[in-house]
Structures are given as C-alpha cells and as structure tokens.
Amino acid sequence: MPELPEVETIARGLDKRVTGDTVESVWIGSRQQPLKSRASVIAATLEGKRILRVHRAGKHIVFDLEADTRRAPAPTRKISRAGRGPTRQSPSLQPIDSETAQWIVHLGMTGRMVVCEPGAEIAKHTHLIAKLASGRELRFIDPRMFGKLSVHSGGFDPGGVEPLDVSAEEFVALFRGRKTPIKSALLNQKLLRGVGNIYADESLFRAGIRPRRRTSTITREQLGKLHRAVREVLREAIALGGSSISDYVDADGEEGFFQLQHRVYGREGAPCLACGTAIRRVVLGGRSSHYCAKCQK
Ligand SMILES: [Zn+2]
C-alpha cells in the first residue's frame, strides 16, 4: 500500500510528466467503486483542462486544473426563470467548471497511475484513460479498487496536518495529553495526514518510544524527538523514492519501490540494528507494530 513517501514520489513523477499538458478526452470504465464523483462529472471536469500542477495532499494525488482558453468557454448555467425558483440540479451532477478545479486520486491499496503511449496495451483493471494533447495517455489502474477518483472545485483539504510541514510546537500540541497509545495517535489521519504503519514504526524506533506507550505519558522533549524522527524518516524515504520514480509511473507499472531499509518494521525476531536485541511484534488496533524492547521505552 503506497504510503506518504510513495505518493509524494508518484505525484512528483506525474508533475514532471504531465504538467502543461491538456486533457482532450476521458474514458471511464463501468466499475463504480473507484468513482467518488459521477463518471460524467469527472469526464466533464477534466476534458479541455490544462494540468497546472500535480502535488500531494496527505495520501492523495492532486491535479490542479485550468480551463484551456483556446477552447470555447463552457455554456453558462441556466438562471432561474420568471415565476419559478432556480433550476434545481444536484450539484453532484454538474461538471466542476471553476477556474480552480482539481482532480483527486487516492491510490488505495493497489492503485497505479501510468503515463504511456496510446498504443500501449490496456492493462486489466484500467478504470480511467485520459487522452492528452501531447498524444500520450494517463491511465488509472486498480485491481482491488480501494482507490478513489473524484473532482473538487478547489482547495481540496483531506483534513489533518501535513507531517512534513508541521512545526515542533504544533506537533507537541497535537499529541500532548492524548490517552491513546502513541502508535494509534500517529496513525490517526485527523491529526497527521499520510503517516502509515511502516513509517510510524520506524519513527518510534528512532525516537526511542514504544508503540504502546500512552501518549499522555510522553514528555514534551520526547515528542520533540518524535517530531524530528517522523520528518527524517519521511524525507529519507522520499529521497530514495526519487530514484525509482520511473518504474512506478511508467508504462509497465512495476511496483518495485526502492525502500528505506527498515530498522524495525517487518523484522520480528531479527536482531536490533542498534543493540542486537530481538525485535518484537505486537498487534495494536489490528495493525502490527514492531519495536526493540531495549532501545524503546
Ligand atoms: Zn535495540
């Protein structure tokens, strides 16, 4: 499942490849699960729009769109007729034609975005194909369909604070006094957005804090250390991801991400890289947590 660093890497790769290009037409498959806006609305919102920028918000990929002025302007909306109220149309049925429209892609578990030549074989489980003015295609493929496609009128905000932007003070204020285990708090997307299981375990190891430790018992100083650890782990993973970007976004969609060497995650029973103690695994809120009982308190 792509976590924040992977999504960042993919968004950067897409930004490099498709920014400045214009969506000429959109094909959307018949499966409804990945569509969080209506297919007709997604298509109408994307078609004729230039891609201004691709970036990440939490674990979402955000395409900022701009109406292509070379095309005829969209017809103006119906205004209320005399003696009747405004024409009632559900807003969800309207294409989003604002100047700040955004296309939001969440990759879920198995979602992939592929930029390819139009002749490239269409992979099974392709749910959307956007034909670009450059002649290439942008495709969304997702076998398990936990991914989500939607359009917004702008200023998309998935909630929570961006972990790479959060200041030490903000970080401490977010977590201080919480009753839940720190691992659960780190995974709570309403606090920090985009931190997943792997990077939470790795950050806690670097900060020397056990996953089950109740957040309210963690000192301000330790929270400061955790703040630095979270940012460090995510930044390192993004730096590594940069080298494998093409594998992920390009035609064959290889899923091989060059990963940060995990110090605890997935290393149950293996010796701690710092002290040699066997790494332990506990299940917390249905998720595996890995830690060193000697290095983490
Ligand atoms: Zn250790």
Can 3 be counted among the known catalytic residues? yes
Cα–ligand 1 centroid distance for 172 (angstroms): 25
Query: Is 202 an active-site residue?
Result: no
Mean pLDDT of the region 117-132 = 95
C-alpha 21 to ligand 1 mean position (Å): 50
**Which has the higher per-residue pLDDT, 76 or 162?**
162
Q: Name the percent of the chain lying above pLDDT 70.
A: 84
Confidence of residue 285 (pLDDT cuts 50, 70, 90): confident
Q: Which one is catalytic: 212, 213, 214, 287? A: 287
Q: What is the pLDDT of residue 291?
A: 98
User: Coil, strand, or helix at residue 146?
Assistant: coil
Fill in the amino acid letter for 219.
T
CA neighbours closer than 13 Å in the CB half-sphere of residue 121: 4
Q: Which structure tokens are listed for 43?
A: 């298509």
33-51 pLDDT, tens digit each: 999 999 999 999 999 999 9
Determine which one of 59, 206, 225, 263 is catalytic: 59
Q: What is the pLDDT of residues 213-272, one digit of tens each?
A: 999 999 999 999 999 999 999 998 888 875 544 444 443 344 445 566 889 999 999 999
Q: How far apart are the first and last CA of the chain?
A: 29
Average pLDDT over the chain reads 86
Q: How confident is the model at residue 67 (pLDDT cuts 50, 70, 90)?
A: confident
Q: Record the tokens describing residue 161, joined without a space.
A: 């604070």
Lowest mean per-residue pLDDT among 19-23, 89-93, 104-108, 207-211: 89-93
Q: 253, 245 in Cβ contact below 8 A?
A: no
| 268 CA → ligand 1 middle, Å | 12
How does residue 79 score in pLDDT terms, banded at 50, 70 and 90?
A: very low
CA of 271 relative to ligand 1 center, distance in Å? 8
Secondary structure element (H or E) that encloses residue 252, with its range: none
The residues, ordered by sequence, that sit 6+ positions from 210 with a Cβ below 8 Å of its Cβ are 182, 204, 291, 293, 296, 297
Q: Whole-angstrom Cα distance, residue 125 to residue 135?
A: 22
> How do residues 176-215 score in pLDDT, each as one tens digit?
989 999 999 999 999 999 898 999 999 999 999 999 999 9
How much is the pLDDT for 68? 63
Q: Is 176 a catalytic residue?
A: no
> Could you tell me the distance, in angstroms and rounded to a whole number, from the CA of residue 296 to the centre of ligand 1?
7
**Distance of CA 147 to CAs 34, 107, 115, 207, 278, Å?**
6, 4, 17, 32, 36
Indicate if 2 belongs to the active site.
Answer: yes
Q: Which residue from 74, 80, 54 is spatially nearest to 65, judged by alpha carbons?
A: 54
